[in-house]
């Protein structure tokens, strides 16, 4: 667009979604949405939502306007992913996916074939390993050595599906210098019991501190900006027009700025980011990282760069249940091991205080019930509700803590795709049946008045927003549709409620509800056209037909025939 011609487009004969509730409130289990039939777009904004007989639409029809017959299709606000990892997603799109492997043999065969087919890449980067694929074997570098059949013995680096751990071959250990790495707080460097040498597997903070930055560093700027744009394109196709990056660091931020320059200032995505604060040796180390976020937020905020801004800090306060790294109030059932949170309340306090004092939002990753208890304690004492503090994941929460979220105005940032029954098969063994009854208690969060924000945590999970809504409303598997297990069905969200949580809820979670997240006059024309039936069981058949950003179509499914 040259900026002078302002186009007006009228979409008629559709089902234009209206949640009927104010941003920051939940629609409840049974409340249905209302649907308007027409939406009028002028330039980058929504000019009217209603019916064809409404005055603004009648006026537009009498003038020059492009009319699009939606033929009964549904229009939803552009989805905003409430929690994802932009650079990792972009990079993962080019990594070898091991997600379908069932055993170590499978993994080895897949890598061997990939190495043979790609003799020119510098490193063999893989994703999607799950501990359950190789359990109970303690894997090590030796299991990956010799798989590079090209004869070059290239480094092999594998991410777990959840991205919390990495597994390297001997060439990888050598290239990264991992045998010289010192232990870091909150992380584990696995070592051979007999020799003390690094085994090639790195967990949590060890992975975040060493492996992530290394990979970010060796990627060229071009590879990084390409990764960002690939992620944006994939997100358009899924129906997103906004995303919240939940672990921004300098390398990704630089690449994002570069991508903006390359695209003449316009990456077609509303991006808000939380700066990752890694566990330092001292409180001063931690505060230094908060100061960096404060500094960046001063420059990049809703006034200066509304589509690419720093909104807060993120702290990863525990790991995950499957790796037995989530902090629990009682020991894990299978090995009687008690895991504590990665950050104590005393360590968190100065970080939360300083961020709050500087007007930044605080996002705390907490999965196990003990960690959730600690972070809700800290947020309720040192964060301000008006800054919309948030807890990420909240997978195993006690009834009392679920209730406290709403009481203190804490956003529940949830990723229903992590509640997929197909990936929870180990939980009864790890936690015992009794504790599984408190898994993913979304209904409690919502009924307690905690604002909900839906996210995917991509690339750790599939990023389809409608898949996310499917799991949250049916509590059934989106990965394995035939798998009939329902996980705690009484914690389900309502359909209108879940769609709102993935649009206006996620926008509200980062103070963007005045611009995006709803289909309402004056807001940005960010929306998706979806071929769907308004029924939770039918969501898996829904198709995103078009995605519009800022009044322009940025994605059209190949099958969608132009009608005008
Ligand atoms: Zn995450």
C-alpha 460 – ligand 1 centre gap (Å): 7
Question: How many angstroms does the Cα of residue 162 sit away from the middle of ligand 1?
Answer: 8
- Ligand 1 centroid–CA 84 distance in Å is 6
- Span 155-202, pLDDT tens digits: 999 999 888 899 999 999 999 999 999 988 778 999 999 999 999 999
Residue 556: burial class (beta carbons within 10 Å; 0-12, 13-18, 19+): middle
Rg (CA), the chain: 23
CA of 243 to the centre of ligand 1 (A): 12
Distance between Cα 315 and ligand 1 center (Å): 10
**Angstrom distance (rounded) from CA 540 to CA 471:** 10
Q: What is the DSSP letter of 418?
A: G
Q: Are 423 and 546 in contact (CB under 8 A)?
A: no
Please give the Cα distance from 552 to 43 (Å, whole number): 8
Distance between CA atoms of 228 and 75, rounded to whole angstroms?
27
CA of 290 to the centre of ligand 1 (A): 19
CA 530 to ligand 1 centroid distance, Å: 27
Torsion on CA atoms 439, 444, 450, 452, rounded to nearest 10: 60
Return d(Cα 354, Cα 384) in angstroms, integer.
12
Same CATH fold assignment for domains 88-217 and 276-303+311-509: no
Burial status of residue 52 (CB atoms within 10 A of its CB: 0-12, 13-18, 19 or more): middle
pLDDT of residue 1: 43
393 CA → ligand 1 middle, Å = 8
Parallel/antiparallel/unpaired status of strands 198-204 and 165-168: antiparallel
C-alpha distance from residue 517 to each of 17, 266, 394, 523 (Å): 11, 19, 23, 8
The CATH architecture annotation of domain 88-217 reads Roll (3.10)
Q: What per-residue confidence (pLDDT) applies to 185?
A: 76
Quote the ligand 1 centre to 247 CA distance (angstroms).
7
Using the mean position of ligand 1's atoms as its centre, give its distance from the Cα of residue 66 in Å: 41
Question: Which top CATH class is 276-303+311-509?
Answer: alpha beta
Structure confidence at residue 563 (pLDDT): 38
- Residue 529 Cα, ligand 1 centroid: separation in angstroms? 28
Contacts of residue 462, defined as CB under 8 A and 6 or more positions apart, other chains included, come to 417, 456, 478, 479
Burial profile 78-88: b = 16 or more Cβ within 10 angstroms, e = fewer: bbbbbbbbbbb
Residue extents of the structural domains in the chain: 8-78+523-556, 88-217, 276-303+311-509
- Centroid of ligand 1 to alpha carbon of 283 (angstroms): 23
Exposure string for 275-296, b = 16+ CB within 10 A, e = fewer: bbbbbbeeeeebbebbebbbeb
Q: Which residues contact 284 (CB under 8 A, 6 or more apart)?
A: none
Burial class (CB in 10 A: 0-12, 13-18, 19+), 50: middle
- In the chain, % helix, strand, coil (3-state, to 5) comes to 35, 25, 40
Right CATH for 8-78+523-556 from 3.40.50.970, 2.160.20.60, 3.30.70.3270, 2.30.40.10 = 2.30.40.10
Residue partners of 224: CB distance under 8 A and separation at least 6: 87, 90, 216, 251, 252, 254, 255, 258
Residue 229: Cβ-neighbour burial (10 angstroms; 0-12, 13-18, 19+):
middle
Residues of the chain with pLDDT below 50 are 1-3, 559-564
> What is the 471 CA–ligand 1 centroid distance (Å)?
18
How far does the centroid of ligand 1 lie from the alpha carbon of residue 237, in Å? 21
Q: How many residues does the chain have?
A: 564
Distance between CA 536 and CA 94 in Å, rounded?
A: 32
- In the reported structure, the alpha carbon of residue 559 is separated from the centroid of ligand 1 by a whole-number distance in angstroms of 33
Place of tokens 């990704």: 252
Question: How far apart are alpha carbons 559 and 555 in whole angstroms?
Answer: 12
State the distance from the centre of ligand 1 to the C-alpha of 12, rounded, in angstroms.
38
pLDDT at 562 (0 to 100): 45
Torsion on CA atoms 29, 239, 86, 190, rounded to nearest 10: 60
Query: Are 65 and 8 spatial neighbours (Cβ–Cβ below 8 Å)?
Result: yes
Query: Distance from the CA of 85 to the center of ligand 1, in angstroms?
Result: 6
DSSP helix/strand/coil, 158: strand
Q: Is 160 helix (H, G, I), strand (E, B) or coil?
A: strand
pLDDT at 4: 60
- Report the separation in Å between the CA atom of 276 and the middle of ligand 1, taken as the mean of its atom positions: 11
Distance between Cα 461 and ligand 1 center (Å):
10
Residue pointed to by tokens 């006026």? 59
């Amino acid at each position: 667009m040259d900026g002078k011609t302002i186009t007006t487009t009228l979409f008629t004969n559709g089902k234009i979604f209206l949640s009927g509730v104010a941003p920051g409130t939940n629609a409840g289990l049974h409340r249905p949405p209302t649907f308007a039939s027409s939406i009028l777009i002028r330039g980058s904004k929504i000019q009217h939502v209603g019916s064809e007989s409404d005055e603004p639409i009648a006026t537009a029809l009498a003038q020059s306007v492009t009319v699009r017959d939606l033929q009964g299709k549904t229009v939803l606000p552009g989805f905003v992913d409430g929690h994802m990892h932009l650079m990792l997603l972009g990079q993962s799109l080019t990594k070898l996916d091991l997600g379908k492997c069932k055993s170590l043999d499978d993994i080895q065969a897949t890598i061997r074939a990939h190495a043979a087919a790609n003799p020119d890449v510098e490193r063999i980067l893989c994703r999607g390993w799950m501990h359950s694929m190789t359990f109970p074997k303690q894997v090590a570098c030796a299991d990956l050595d010799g798989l590079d059949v090209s004869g070059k013995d290239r480094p092999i680096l594998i991410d777990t599906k959840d991205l919390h751990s990495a597994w390297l071959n001997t060439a990888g250990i050598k290239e990264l210098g991992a045998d010289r790495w010192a232990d870091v707080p909150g992380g584990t460097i696995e070592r051979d019991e007999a020799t003390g040498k690094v085994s090639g597997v790195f967990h949590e903070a060890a992975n975040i501190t060493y492996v992530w930055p290394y990979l970010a560093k060796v990627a060229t700027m071009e590879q990084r900006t390409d990764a960002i744009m690939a992620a944006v394109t994939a997100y358009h196709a899924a129906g997103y027009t906004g995303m919240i990056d939940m672990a921004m660091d300098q390398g990704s931020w630089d690449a994002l700025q570069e991508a903006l320059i390359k695209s003449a200032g316009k990456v077609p995505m509303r991006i808000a980011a939380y700066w990752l604060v890694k566990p330092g040796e001292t409180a001063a180390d931690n505060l230094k990282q908060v100061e960096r976020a404060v500094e960046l937020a001063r420059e990049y905020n809703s006034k200066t760069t509304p589509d690419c801004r720093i909104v807060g800090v993120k702290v990863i306060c525990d790991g995950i249940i499957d790796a037995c790294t989530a902090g629990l109030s009682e020991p894990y059932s299978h090995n009687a091991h008690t895991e504590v949170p990665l950050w104590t309340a005393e360590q968190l306090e100065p970080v939360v205080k300083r961020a709050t004092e500087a007007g930044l939002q605080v996002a705390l990753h907490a999965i196990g019930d003990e960690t959730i208890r600690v972070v809700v304690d800290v947020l309720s004492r040192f964060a301000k509700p008006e800054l919309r503090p948030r807890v990420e994941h909240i997978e195993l929460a006690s009834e009392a803590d679920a209730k406290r979220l709403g009481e203190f105005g804490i956003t529940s940032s949830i990723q229903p795709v992590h509640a997929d029954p197909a990936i929870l098969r180990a939980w009864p063994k790890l936690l015992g049946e009794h504790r599984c009854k408190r898994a993913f208690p979304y209904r409690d969060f919502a009924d307690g008045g905690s604002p909900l924000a839906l996210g995917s945590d991509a690339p750790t999970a599939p990023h389809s927003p409608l898949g996310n809504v499917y799991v949250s409303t049916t509590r059934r598997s989106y990965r394995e549709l035939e798998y009939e297990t329902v996980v705690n069905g009484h914690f389900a969200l309502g359909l209108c409620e879940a769609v709102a949580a993935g649009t206006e809820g996620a926008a509200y979670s980062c103070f963007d509800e005045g611009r995006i997240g709803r289909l309402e006059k004056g807001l940005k024309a960010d929306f998706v056209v979806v071929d769907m039936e308004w029924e939770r069981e039918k969501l898996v058949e829904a198709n995103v037909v078009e995605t519009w950003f800022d009044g322009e179509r940025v994605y059209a499914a190949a099958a969608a025939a132009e009608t005008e």
